[in-house]
Amino acid sequence: MHSRIRKNIALMGLLLAIALILSYVESLVGLDLLVPGVKLGLSNLSVLMTIVFIGIPEAFVICVLKVVLAGSMFGNMSMMIYGLCGSLLSFGVMAILVRIGGYHLPVISATGGVFHNMGQMLVALFVTKALNTEFILFYIPVLIISGFIAGLITGIIANLITPALKKAVNKGDSTS
């Protein structure tokens, strides 16, 4: 029992580190989607893996830590607020899909990606009075398709590393 918990914590640390690296890369490459501050959310990979390997509450922890740490290390306050809303909405939707069951990782992740972008657009609507109807209509299709594709890629990557990670985790189980 204790070794299980210890292993989960180690795994969460690893996944959080991966999330931070991906966030850093994203901030460097400047994959902003025309809408200022909207990021693709490649670091969702870690949240996805945590849902699969450990559980939904733990994934929530990773999700919040990832945004707060990445925001304070190589971002700014507004990036943190946008990221938090996008990530939480995306996390919520992915968690619901996992609970319902029958969905596969790439599609779960792609749906998460769409809501990640929508969440950021929602914050932009609430924190500023800048955006008009036309702007939103102009960007919604862009946000949907880019979120979908980014999420799909993330999900496919998650699918590819899942067997290896599962093997590593199970191996540890039998020896301890």
Partner 1 sequence: MAKYKKDIILTALILLSFLAFWLIRSNGSKADPKSVNIYVDGVLLRAVDLSVDDEFRIESKHGYNDITVKDGKIAVTGSDCDGKDCVKTGYISGNNGYIACLPHGLLISPKGDDSDSKGGVDAFAY
Among 14, 17, 145, 161, binds partner 1 (CB under 8 A): 145
The residues near 162 (Cβ < 8 Å, ≥ 6 apart) are 49, 52, 105
- Rounded to a whole number of angstroms, the minimum distance from the CB of residue 42 to partner 1 is 18
**Interface with partner 1: number of residues (CB under 8 A):** 38
Is the Cβ of residue 132 or residue 174 nearer to partner 1 in the bound state?
A: 132
- Distant-in-sequence, close-in-space partners of 40: CB < 8 Å, separation ≥ 6: 26, 31, 33, 113, 146, 147, 150
Binding to partner 1, residues 156-175 (CB under 8 A): none
Q: Which stretch binds partner 1 (CB under 8 A): 4-12, 50-58, 140-148, 163-171?
A: 140-148
Q: How many CB atoms lie within 10 A of CB 9?
A: 12
């999420």: which residue's tokens?
151
Q: Which of 30, 163, 170, 175 touches partner 1 (CB under 8 A)? A: 30
Phi, psi of 130 (to 5 degrees): -70, -35
- CB contact at 8 A, 38 and 117: yes
Site for partner 1 in 55-114 (CB under 8 A): 76-79, 97, 100, 102-104, 106-107, 110-111, 114
Q: According to CB under 8 A, which one of 31, 65, 88, 144 is a site residue for partner 1?
A: 144
**Interface with partner 1 includes 148 (CB under 8 A)?**
yes
Determine which residue in the list 10, 17, 34, 156 makes contact with partner 1, applying CB under 8 A: 34
- The piece of 32-40, 42-50, 65-73, 157-165 that touches partner 1 (CB under 8 A) is 32-40
Give the residues lining the site for partner 1 (CB under 8 A).
30, 32, 34-37, 76-79, 97, 100, 102-104, 106-107, 110-111, 114, 124, 127-135, 137-141, 144-145, 148
